[in-house]
Amino acid sequence: MIESKIWMATSSDDKYKEAKEVLAEFGVELGRIDVEKIEVQADDPVEIVEYSLRQMEDDGRVVVMEDAGIFIEHFGGFPGPYSSYVLERLGNPGILKLMEGVENRRAHYGSAVAIRRGSEIKSFRGYVRGTISESIRGTGGFGYDPIFIPDEGDGRTFGEMTEEEKNVISHRARAFRKLGEWLASSP
């Protein structure tokens, strides 16, 4: 039985908007609980969202959380789940500076979405592979979008794409689609 309304615990307007649009494809209404999640330091975004959901008070609502990161091959997958901290400290110009002269610009975005229904927690992952651009390109999206060129695109960064174009292939959209499919098929 598909849940008609679930709640996303997030402080990010951008993440909430993207998740809401994707889940609407499955007839799921997404409400929002504005919280700063208690984030455990872990290398796996699934561990982070599952831990955060367990720390939230259970008021009977079905709640989802999402965590994502960009994993740059040259840096052994860094910044990964520490992406928001690195973005806050260095920004995209700092990442590009660190990558000056680097030949291996391969990276992937990874997203983990976890849902809590009663005592059950289930997680879903979404990925998109690509490369780090040589310069900041585009003003759309958020985070690392202006420097990430997805393999499945046409050479533009996520920052150069419309929201609709990005939502077709983004890591977050893929994870939320898996959640939507699970909700549609679960009892």
Task: Single out the catalytic residue among 13, 43, 67, 151.
Answer: 67
pLDDT of 108 reads 98
Question: Residue 1 above 50 pLDDT?
Answer: no
What mean pLDDT value characterizes the chain?
A: 92
CATH code given to domain 5-185: 3.90.950.10
The rounded percent of the chain whose pLDDT value lies above 90 is: 79
Q: Quick one: CA torsion of 145, 32, 49, 127, rounded to 10 degrees?
A: -30
Q: What are phi and psi of 8, to 5 degrees?
A: -105, 125
pLDDT of 95 reads 97
pLDDT of 186 reads 78
Angle, helices 171-185 vs 13-24, to 10°: value is 40
pLDDT of 132 reads 98
pLDDT-derived band at 86, boundaries 50, 70, 90 = very high
Question: Residue 67 above 50 pLDDT?
Answer: yes
Reported as a single tens digit per residue, the pLDDT across 8-54 is: 999 889 999 999 999 999 999 999 998 766 667 788 899 999 998 99
Per domain, the residue ranges of the chain are 5-185
Reported as a single tens digit per residue, the pLDDT across 149-178 is: 999 989 999 999 999 999 999 999 999 999
Q: Is 151 a catalytic residue?
A: no
Burial group, residue 97, by CB count within 10 angstroms (0-12, 13-18, 19+): exposed
Reported as a single tens digit per residue, the pLDDT across 93-141 is: 999 999 999 999 999 999 999 999 988 999 999 999 999 999 999 999 8
pLDDT of 43 reads 82
